[in-house]
Structure 1
Amino acid sequence: MTTLVFKQRVFYGWWVVAAAFAVTFVGFGSAYTFSAFIEPLQREFGASRGAVSLVFSLAGFLYFALGIVSGPLADRWGARRLCIAGMLLVGAGLALASVARNIVEVYAAYGLGVGLGVGLAYVPAVGAVQRWFVKRRGLASGLAVSGIGVGTLAMPPLAALLIDGMGWRDAYLTLGVLAAVLGVGASLLLENDPRERGRAADGEPLPAHAHAAPPSGDLSVRDAVRTRQFISLYAACLIASFGVFVPFVHLVPHAQDLGIAQGSAVLLLGVIGIGSTAGRFFLGSLADRMGRQRFLLCTVIALAFTLVIWAVATGFWMLALFAFLFGACYGGWVAVLPAVVMDLFGGRNVGGIIGVLYTSVAFGTLIGPSAAGYAFDASRSYTLPILAAVAANLIAGAILMVAARGTKRGSAQG
C-alpha cells in the first residue's frame, strides 16, 4: 500500500532525473565558468589566448573521453559511487586551481580535476536516467541534462561576481567547495535500475518473470560499436563537436574584442544557458513525438545556421540572439543523444555504449576550442574558426541524413 501511494505521488525515476540534473548542473556549470577566468589567467601568467584555451580543451576532452571507462563501471557498480567520486574531484580541481603558480599547474588542477571529475559523473548520471523511462525517455533525458543549461546560465555570472569581489583565486576556491557539497549530496539520490524498487520503466508494475536479466535483445558494447548505426552516429558527433564547443570558450572574449563590457559579455554565456535550458525542457518531448533520430538530425543542421549568425554579429543584441538559438539547438542535441543510444541498442549496457560514443565528442572538444584560440592568435579574428564550425555541423548533418536513408532502405528490403 505504501509503495502504491508513493508511486501515485512521485515515481522515483523523477528523483533520479532530479539527481542527474544537479550533477550536470554542478559539473558542467563549474566547467563553463572557465570563460570568465580567461582574462585573469592571461594577466596573471602572461599566457596567450590559445594557451589558456587549452585548459578548457583538456578538461573537455577528459570529461567526455572518460565515459568509456565510467560508463561500463556504472553499469557494473551503479551510478552513485562514480558520481560521488566525480563531484569530489571537481571540487578538488577547482580548489587546487586557486593556488596554481603557473599555467601548467592550472592545466593539472583544473584540466585534470574538473575533467576527470565530470568524466566520472556525467555518463553514469545520464545513463541511469535512460533505464527508468520508455514512453517519456526524451523528456526525462532532456530534463536531466538541462542541468548543463541551467549551470551555464547561473555559474559563469556567479564566477564573474566572485572574481570581481575576491579575485580569481578565492573565486576558484569558493566554487570548489560549492561543487563538492552540492554534487555529492545530489549523487546520493541516484539509482541504476527501477527493478531495484520492484518497478518496471515508467513506474509500471514489474512482471514476476522480469526480476531476472534485462531483455536479451540488448546489444553488448562490442556488438553495438560494430553496427553501421553506431559508426555513423560516432562520425557525426566527432565532426560536429569540432565547432559546438567553441562558443563556450570564445564567445566572451570575442564580445569583449567588439567593445562589449565584461559583465555584458559574460552574460552571453548565461543566454546560452537560457536557450539550452529551454531546448532541453521543451524540445525533449517534441523529440518523443517526431522521432528522436529525426530530431537529432534537425538539431545538428540547425546548429550550423545559428553559427552563421555569430559570424556576422557586430553587437550585443545580435550576439545574444545567436547565444539563445545556439543554446536551444545545443540543448536539444545533448538531450536526445543518450535517448537515441538507448533506442538503438537497449539499456543493459547503455552506460558503456554512451561512454564509447562520447569519446567522439571528447576529441572534438580537445581540438576545437584550442584550435580556434590559436587561429585567433594568428589572424586576430574569429571568422575562420566560426566558418569552420558551420562547415563541420553541415557535414555531420549530411552523415546522419545518409545513415537514416540507409536504415529506412534496409528496413524496407527486410
Structure 2
Amino acid sequence: MMTGYAVAYSFAAFFGTLEAEFGARRGETSLVFSISAFLYFLLGFPAGLIADRIGPRPVVIGGLLLIAAGLVAASQAQSLWQIYAGYGLGVGVGIGLSYVPSVAAVQRWFVRLRGAASGVAIAGIGVGTLIGAPLAHLLIATLGWRQSYLALAAFAVVGAVMAGALIRPAPERYGLTPDGDPPPPSGALAVPAGLALGEAVRSGPFWAIYIGALLLSFGLFVPFVHLAPYAVDVGLGEAFGVLLIVLLGVGSTVGRFLFASLTGRLGRRLSFAAMYLGAAVMLALWTQSTSAPALAMFALLFGAFYGGFVAIAPSLAADYFGGRALGSIIGALYSGVAFGALLGAPAAGFAYDFFGSYGGAILAGAALCLISFVLTLAMPEPARWLAERERAR
C-alpha cells in the first residue's frame, strides 16, 4: 500500500510541471489523477473477487508491476492524453488490483484487534503520502519529470518483490484461525463466517456505507490534487505546497491510529460518522484559509479524517458482513468511491478555470459529507443488525 499510494499522491508534485509542459488547464491536468483514482476504486471489486478465489499475493504483485509499466509509459509521453493512458491507466489499474486484496487479507487475520491491525496496515497509505510528493519534488528538480517517473517505476518493482515476500491469504488455508485462537476441536479447517456477496448487496448497511462513501469521495481527493496549486495561488510558493501534501500524509498516518483508538470508545459506526462530520468542517474551513499556519492545520486535520476513512471502512464492512466474501464486498463498496474520485477533483479544477476560485466546489464537497454523516448515524449497530437478521430467518 505504501508503494502504490506514494506513486499516486506524488501527483501533486508533478501537477505544475505537467500543466506547463503540455499547456493544460487545471481541470484537464486534474483528470490525470482522477482517471487513476477512478480505476483503482472501480477495479477493487473484480480484484477482491479474484483474490477471494486465488489468494491476494499474485493479484497484489501483478498490480504493482502494472504501476511500474504505467510509469514507464508516462515517462515517454508527448501529449497529455498519453499521460492519461500511461499514468492514469497503469497506476489506476495497478492500485486497483493491489489495494483491496491487501486490506481484505488483514481483516481476515484479526477480529478482536481488527481496528488496530487495519490501522497499522493502512498506515502504509499515509506513509506513502508522506514520502511520495517530496521524493517526486526532489527527483523532478534533479532529474526532470520523465526520469522521475522511471525512478518511481523502479520503486514500484521493489514494492512488488516485498509484497510477494510478506502477504498471506486467509488463516484457514494454513489450518489457523483469526487472532491466533485455537483451531476447532474437530481439527477440521474453519470456513470464514459471514455473508455472501449477494446477501451483503441486498442489505441496508451495504447501501448506507456505499452511498456515504460515494458522497464523501467528491470532496475527499480535492486537496490531494489542488492544495499544492492553491498554496501557489495565495503566494506561499510551490515548495510550501509540497509540504502541505506531506502534512496530509502525516495527518493521515496519525489519524489511522487515533480513529483506531476512538473505535474502542465509540464503536466503529459512530467513529465513522465522526469522520464524515470532521471532513465536512475541515473542507468548509479550507475556503477561508490563506495563511501558512491555517493551511498547515487544515492539511494535518483533513489528513487525519481521511486516515480515519481508510482505516475504519474495511473494518466496518467486516463487522457487518464477516470474512466469507470480504474482498469482493469491500471492492463493491469502493466502486462508489470511484465515481466521486473521477468527478470531484476535475470539477474543482474546471471551477477554478471558469470562476477563478475553488470555493464553490469545496463547499459542495462539505455539504455531501454532511449527508454521509446523517446516513451513518441512521445505520443500526452491527451486532444489533446481525441479531435481527438471524431472528428474521
Q: Shared fold by TM > 0.5?
A: yes
Residue number in structure 2 paired with 1:136: 113
Matches of 1:360 and 1:300 in 2, distance apart?
A: 16
Cα displacement string for residues 24-81 of structure 1 (whole angstroms, at most 9, x for unaligned residues): 1110110011111111111111111100101111000000000110001101000000
Secondary structure of 1:188's counterpart equals: helix
Which range moves more in the overlay, 121-130 or 92-101? 92-101
Structure 1: runs of 5 or more not aligned: 1-23
Q: Give the stretch that moved more between structures: 205-214 or 300-309.
A: 205-214
Are 1:398 and 2:377 an aligned pair? no
1:311-350 deviations in Å (ceiling 9; x for gaps): 1101111000000000111101110100011110010100
Structure 1's 406 and 116: CA in aligned 2 closer, same or farther, altered over 3 A? closer
Q: How does 1:28-177 map to 2 (within 5 A)?
A: 28-177=5-154
Residues 210, 362 of structure 1: CA spacing in aligned structure 2 closer, same or farther, 3 A cutoff?
farther
Which residue of structure 2 lines up, in the alignment, with residue 230 of structure 1? 206
1:392-411 superposed Cα distances (whole Å, 9 cap, x missing partner): 10011111112248996997
Note the alpha carbon deviations across 1:153-212, whole angstroms, 9 max, x for none: 111001001111111111111111111112332233111112333321111221243633
* Residues 269, 323 of structure 1: 8 Å contact kept: yes
In structure 1, give the amino acid aligned to 2:375.
I
Alpha carbon RMSD of aligned pairs, Å? Answer: 1.8
1:16 maps to which residue?
Answer: none
Equivalent residue in structure 1 for 2:260, among 271, 284, 288: 284
Verify: 1:381 aligned to 2:357, yes or no. Answer: yes
Q: Contact (CA 8 Å) 2:320, 2:382: kept in 1 or not?
A: no
In structure 2, the partner of 1:341 is 317
**Equivalent residue of 1:212, what SS?**
coil
Aligned mates of 2:388, 2:165 — CA distance in 1: 46
Unaligned runs of at least 5 residues, structure 2: none
Aligned length: 390
- 1:261 and 2:237 matched: yes
Q: 1:410 to 1:190 in 2, by over 3 A?
A: closer
Assess if the C-alpha contact under 8 Å between 1:137 and 1:288 holds in 2.
Answer: no
Aligned match for 1:185, one of 143, 162, 183: 162
| 1:365 paired residue number | 341
Match of 1:17 in 2: none
Distance 1:282 1:165 in 2: 37
Measure how far apart 1:299 and its partner are: 0.6
- TM-score (norm. length: structure 1): 0.91
Q: Which amino acid aligns with 1:135?
A: R
For residues 52 and 386 of structure 2, what CA distance do their matches in structure 1 show? 31
Q: Is the 1:300–1:393 contact (alpha carbons within 8 Å) kept by the matching residues of 2?
A: yes
Answer yes or no: is 1:318 the counterpart of 2:314: no
- Tell me how far 1:282 sits from its aligned partner: 3.1
Q: Which residue of 1 aligns with 2:3?
A: 26
* C-alpha displacement of 1:280: 1.0
Indicate conservation of the 8 Å contact 1:49/1:373, yes or no. Answer: yes
CA distance in 2, matches of 1:405, 1:75: 26
Deviation at 1:272, TM superposition (A): 0.5
Choose 179-188 or 385-394, whichever is displaced more: 179-188
The 3 A distance-change label for structure 1 pair 146 and 405 is closer
Matched with 2:195 is: 219
CA deviations 1:67-123 (Å, max 9, x no partner) are: 110001101000000000000011111121111010010000000000000000000
Q: 1:353 aligns with which of 329, 348, 368?
A: 329
* Sequence identity (%): 47
The 8 Å contact of residues 172 and 191 in structure 2, kept in 1 or not, is answered as: no
Moved more, 56-65 or 171-180: 171-180
* Aligned counterpart for 1:305 among listed residues 268, 271, 281: 281
After TM superposition, the score normalised by the length of structure 2 is 0.95
1-side partners of 2:113 and 2:155: how far apart? 32
